[in-house]
Amino acid sequence: MKHPFKVGLSFGLTSGIITTLGLMVGLQSGTHSKLVVIGGILTIAIADAFSDALGIHISEESENKHSSREVWESTISTFLFKFIFALIFIIPVLLFELFMAVTISIILGLLLISFFSFNIAKKQKEAPWKVVVEHLLIAILVIFVTYYVGNWVSLTFG
26 contacts 147 by C-beta, under 8 angstroms: yes
Question: pLDDT band at 12, cuts 50/70/90?
Answer: very high
Q: Is the dihedral of CA 137, 134, 88, 8 positive or negative?
A: positive
| Domain positions in the chain | 3-157
Report d(CA 149, CA 138) in Å as an integer: 16
pLDDT tens per residue, range 34-89: 999 999 999 999 999 999 999 999 999 999 999 999 999 999 999 999 999 999 99
Decide if pLDDT at 158 tops 90.
no
Question: pLDDT band at 1, cuts 50/70/90?
Answer: confident
Report the 10 Å Cβ neighbour count for 157. 7
